[in-house]
Amino acid sequence: MINAKRMQHTDEIIAANKKGIAIRAFIILVAICLLVLIFSQSIPEIGINDNTYGNSQQIGEQRLNAKRQLADLSKSAAQDNVYVRIGGKPIGISVNAGGLIVLGLSEVDTESGAVSPALDAGIKTGDVLYSVNGEQVTSIFRLKMISDEFNGNEMELAVLRDGNLFTVRLVPAIDRATGQKKLGLMLKEDVGGVGTLTFVTQDGRFGALGHFITDGESGLDYELTYGNIYRTEIDGVIKGESGKAGGLIADVNRLSSPVGIIARNTDIGLFGEYTADYDAELYRIATKGEAKPGAAKVYTTVDGSEPKFYDIDIVKVISQSEPAEKGMVIAVRDKELLEKTGGIVQGMSGSPIIQNGILVGAVTHVFIQDPTRGYAVHSRFMYDYAVNSAAAYREAA
């Protein structure tokens, strides 16, 4: 009897354990199902946030999101064994804001005295005049024609400011001396200069300059998005000296055919589509950690249009996980280059830096107090931006 009772008690314990195991298994199964459901719903949302550019029709929204979009480009690190065609050639640069850039306001001397229609309408320096009476304007000459031909009481101007597009209305003033209709605006069409091409990828993307283009006259920066690059030649050099940056002298013919279309103006350079034929030696893009302190060469043009190699030292390498224009400190050691330029001068920005046969970076800045020294950006970041500028190029085109 005792054995029978013990067996019966043991059977009850086993049955209870089985029941407990079954309940726990059921709870675990329900939890797994819930996790799968939640995860499957979250995957598409993550994909949209990380990989899709905005297609908003609002110009202001596109401008405001530009820097955030560019920050995401650094997430795709340059792959091993990526080769590009080396730059080193000088380029003329023209970037625009999609309209006419307001440099300042002026008064118009009329029969009734001095007036400023633009000032009265609330327009400010740094605004971008996007359209007049519904017509987009990128030419000062065209704006003058519209003003001269307009016979209505008011003109409607669409103005871009700090990423926001708004409209104002004004009546042109008639200049007493010339009889011309004037708005009281000082304008320019684009921002230009000279820089250096860093590389062209084998599928036609380019990287250049190594730093952001801003406009000191108007204060514009991220609004300067699209534009062109042109072939040019270096006519002379203003030698750098302590306390005063030198510069390359070149004429940029903006009526000539451009060789590339700028799709992005970023903290680490200009990127877009190289539209002309380009043939130069292939160099591998350095991966993280390959750039080291020590001897290197800069490939740049300080006379005519053909670049040359000059000796430099990489003094310091700053390990970076995010793109930044100051990734290395460099020092010019080449006697010929020092004699011609005094070191690093304006216009050399974007000049590729080669170390051990690898493209490791590009010149970005000069130390004002010591023009023999300056900063450089890591080439792998520029490559990532160039590759990812394809979508932006399609928007610009």
In a domain, 5, yes or no: no
The arithmetic mean of pLDDT across residues 242-264, rounded, is 92
Which pLDDT does position 384 carry in this prediction?
93
Domain boundary among 188, 211, 246: 188
Contacts of 173 (CB under 8 A, 6+ apart): 108, 110, 115, 116, 117, 181, 182, 183, 184
Q: Is the pLDDT of residue 356 over 90?
A: yes
CATH number of the domain where residue 110 is located: 2.30.42.10
Q: Is the pLDDT of residue 93 over 60?
A: yes
Q: Catalytic pick from 190, 211, 365, 378? A: 211
Percentage of residues in the chain having pLDDT higher than 90: 66
In a domain, 68, yes or no: yes
* Number of structural domains found in the chain: 2
Backbone region of residue 122 per phi and psi (left: phi > 0; alpha: psi in -120 to 50; beta: other values): left
The full DSSP string for 262-299 is EEEEETTEEEEEE-S-----EEEEPPTT---SEEEEEE
Q: Catalytic pick from 349, 351, 379, 389? A: 349
- Same domain membership, residue 267 and residue 157: no
**Is 334 assigned a catalytic role?**
yes
Could you tell me if 330 and 296 are in contact, meaning their C-beta atoms sit under 8 angstroms apart?
yes
- Same domain membership, residue 231 and residue 116: no
Domain boundary among 129, 163, 188: 188
- Per-residue pLDDT of 30-67, as tens digits, reads 555 444 343 333 322 222 222 211 222 333 444 445 44
Give pTM, 2 decimals: 0.77
In a domain, 132, yes or no: yes
Distance CA 154, CA 119 (A): 15
- Per-residue pLDDT of 282-303, as tens digits, reads 999 999 999 999 999 999 999 9
- Same domain membership, residue 306 and residue 181: no
Provide the residue range defining the domain that includes 113: 100-188
What is the token pair recorded at 90? Answer: 């000088």
- Per-residue pLDDT of 371-384, as tens digits, reads 999 999 999 999 99
- Same domain membership, residue 259 and residue 353: yes
Which pLDDT does position 59 carry in this prediction?
39
- Same domain membership, residue 301 and residue 170: no
CATH number of the domain where residue 231 is located: 2.40.10.120
Could you tell me how many residues make up the chain?
397
Which pLDDT does position 65 carry in this prediction?
52
- Same domain membership, residue 263 and residue 223: yes
